[in-house]
Copies of this chain bind each other. A is one copy, B any other.
Amino acid sequence: MKKDELTLVRQIRDRFSFSEGVGIGDDAAVLNFKQPVLLTTDLMIEDVHFDLSYTSFYHLGFKIVSVNVSDIYAMGGDFKAFLFSAGIPETVSEEDFKELFDGIENALKHYRGFLIGGDLSKSEKVVLSGFAVGEASEPVLRKGAEPGDLILITSFLGLSSAGLNLLKSLPDDKRKVIKSIKDFKKYPPIIEIDGINELLQRHLMPVARNPERFKHIAKAMMDISDGLLIDLHRLCEENNVGAEIYLEDIPKHPAVIEVAEYLNIDAMKFILSGGEDYELLVISERNAQEFGLTAVGRIVEEKGIYLVHPDKGKIPVKPEGWQHF
């Protein structure tokens, strides 16, 4: 990139206006809140969280917003504003830089929030750091689950990790095509599996699940970012309880099953331990099918996570999922 930092910041600022307070361009942003404020941050680093051979800067911009908004939604909150810092290698083109902010802008339009600040730096690898701000009159915490409560999920799991594994298996020419896609729904299937683009989109440009309609029935809630088992384990630890998962009740997305067969990987690995779906894990006293939620297990007194097989019975499992260290 040839543009200097002052010019870049001015362009970004002109693009993202914010009329309800002080936005980009001062030492700090200024916002007014009437309810408790929610604050969260998530980091995405090249070659750790994403691979630029099949991920476009547009995807990255959209995703860094989604993963942060997901944490606000997981608290039952309303998303308000976003701060965004980036480390950008000198080799990144002005076009890619623009696409990054196109992705951010479209995600912010979708979630109805504002970009209000950030920081730009040089870097060897692409580094994206997002910071989401929201509010909630009554935040829903991870704490609150009790034995007997149902474990609900908002939709199919494993799509993102099935998508990721498929992406890794693709040759260069297909990767290039995927980088060019902005709307996966409108694009013909990239390989001959029904619903395959949904999996790719879920990995590259996930959309956070808004619990607005059902948060009132949630005693505890969190987003499933590192995989069902590990995230459920975290929630259980927080509440000094355990959990049973009924394998028969877990919804299985046909494309996840097909990709698993295609790659010769156990589909349940994607579903139980695959990260980055950004569905919600909802703990409730009652079922909530009317809101599209699916009950897949129950909170129990005995600590630990247990898988209940239809024939083999109850088996304790180690929580597995995405861990960095």
Contacts and interface: CB of A to CB of B under 8 A. Distances in A.
Given A32-B37, A37-B32, A38-B28, A325 B43 contact: no
Given A27-B71, A27-B75, A43-B85, A122 B37 contact: no
Interface residues of A, number: 74
Contacts of A123: 45, 48, 125, 127
A287 interface: no
B139 A4 contact: no
A38 to B, nearest CB: 4
Contact of A127 (B28, B45, B324): B45
B75 A30 contact: yes
B39 A131 contact: yes
A206 interface: no
Interface stretch (A111-119, A149-157, A167-175, A181-189): A111-119
A119 B43 contact: yes
A8 interface: yes
A133 interface: yes
A23 to B, nearest CB: 10
A212 to B, nearest CB: 16
A284 to B, nearest CB: 17
A302 interface: no
Interface in A78-136: 81, 83-88, 90, 116-125, 127, 129, 131-134, 136
A25 interface: yes
A312 interface: no
A75 B28 contact: yes
A320 to B, nearest CB: 11
Nearest to A71: B27
A28 B77 contact: yes
A31 B22 contact: no
B129 A41 contact: yes
A41 B118 contact: yes
Given A26-B75, A85-B42, A134-B28, A37 B33 contact: yes
A240 interface: no
A141 interface: yes
A324 B89 CA distance: 10
29 contacts: A2-B325, A3-B325, A4-B325, A6-B234, A6-B323, A8-B325, A22-B139, A27-B71, A27-B72, A27-B142, A27-B222, A28-B39, A28-B40, A28-B134, A29-B40, A30-B38, A30-B139, A31-B39, A32-B37, A37-B37, A41-B129, A42-B85, A48-B121, A49-B121, A87-B127, A88-B325, A120-B325, A127-B129, A131-B131
What 8 A-B pairs come out closest when comparing CB atoms? A28-B40, A27-B74, A129-B129, A27-B71, A28-B38, A5-B323, A43-B85, A29-B39
Given A27-B72, A39-B116, A124-B124, 14 more contacts: A5-B324, A25-B142, A27-B71, A27-B222, A28-B38, A33-B37, A41-B85, A43-B85, A43-B119, A43-B121, A45-B127, A87-B127, A123-B127, A131-B131
